[in-house]
Amino acid sequence: MKLQNKVAIITGAGSGIGKSTALIFAKEGAKVVVANRREDKGQNTVDEIKKQGGEAMFIKTDVSNWDDVSNMVERVVQSYGEVDILVNNAGVLRMGPLTEVNEDDWNYVLNINLKGVFYTMKKIIPLMIKQGKGKIINIASIAGLVGFEQIGPYCASKGGVIALTREAALEYAKNKININCIAPGVIRTEMTGMLEDEQTNSYYRLQTPYPRLGEGEDIGYAALYLASDESDFMTGQVMVVDGGWTIK
């Protein structure tokens, strides 16, 4: 098993990519902390992990709230003594033309997608420095790399996640903390509910050279590599998992 006895915090693991990642990590022996804003969904992920014989706990957390993040990490340390892996996956999307985005929309998306990543890293990196090792995987998006219409705050937040990943990776490489990000293409999750619409679905499929859309597991297995010892010499990178969207 690649993550035997490692303690992994995964934010937003109540659904989609985070849930798939949580199930994969647990199968690989990790003790998984599901840090989600929604209790029903987070608890559901924990129940599924336990059903497959794994170890997991749910901690209700809003990643955009410093006290929540701080209390969550302290509870993890009380329970497990350490944090080996952090996956910053929690994220939200709001759609609309940039000129119609109001300040609430902007703050909502940026506070969760970008400030949340800063908060968890701020709290957990000092622990990883003490431990002498750590793995951080930030879930960005290809929307942080190439242009997308109608999702301005989201694009800005994901570009920010990529920049922050490089900054932190450079700062903490000497402490053997690997900080990388994954840029998923279009993945079928609750966030991409618009894929239920056949016309939208075929548009996105046509944009994706590989002949299907992505699934949560496609990202979960990339995260597994970045969380494992096998990726020790890799830091500050953007791993693009997009079925070829960005190579066109």
Q: How many residues bind ligand NAD (CB under 6 A)?
A: 29
Residue list 202-241, contact with ligand NAD (CB under 6 A)? none
Question: Per-residue x/- mask for ligand NAD, residues 159 to 188, rule CB under 6 A?
Answer: -------------------------x-xx-
Residue for token pair 């297995």:
221
Quick one: 141 or 235, whose CB is closer to ligand NAD? 141
**Contact stretch for ligand NAD (CB under 6 A) within 16-24, 46-54, 126-134, 228-236:** 16-24
Q: Are 59 and 39 in contact (CB under 8 A)?
A: no
Which 81-100 residues touch ligand NAD, going by CB under 6 A? 89-92
Stretch that binds ligand NAD, among 10-18, 23-31, 71-79, 101-109 (CB under 6 A): 10-18
Question: Of the residues 80, 108, 119, 154, which is catalytic?
Answer: 154
Report if residue 152 touches ligand NAD, rule: CB under 6 A.
Answer: no
The residues in 18-47 that bind ligand NAD, with binding defined as CB under 6 A, are: 18, 36-38, 41
Rounded CA-CA distance 9/58 in Å is 10
Q: Give the count of beta carbons closer than 10 Å to the beta carbon of residue 74.
A: 11
CA–CA dist 67, 88 (Å, integer) = 17
Instruction: Give the integer Cα–Cα distance in Å for 22 and 31.
Output: 9
- What is the C-alpha to C-alpha distance for residues 175 and 37, in angstroms, rounded to an integer? 31
Q: Which of 70, 131, 192, 231 binds ligand NAD (CB under 6 A)?
A: 192
Q: Which DSSP letter does residue 151 get?
A: B
- What is the C-alpha to C-alpha distance for residues 136 and 120, in angstroms, rounded to an integer? 10
Q: Which residue has the tokens 């290809």?
A: 142
Q: Which is nearer to ligand NAD, 12 or 153 (CB)?
A: 12
Q: Is 59 in the site for ligand NAD (CB under 6 A)?
A: no
Q: What gap in Å lies between CA 112 and CA 154, rounded to an integer?
A: 10
Nearest approach, Cβ of 78 to ligand NAD (angstroms)? 20
Binding residue (CB under 6 A) for ligand NAD from 120, 141, 178, 235: 141
Q: Is 225 a catalytic residue?
A: no
Q: Quick one: 3 or 183, whose CB is closer to ligand NAD?
A: 183
Q: Concatenated DSSP letters for 220-239?
A: HHHHHHHHSGGGTT--S-EE
Backbone angles phi, psi at 3, to 5 degrees: -125, 30
Footprint on this chain of ligand NAD (rule: CB under 6 A): 11-12, 14-18, 36-38, 41, 61-64, 89-92, 112, 139, 141, 184, 186-187, 189-192
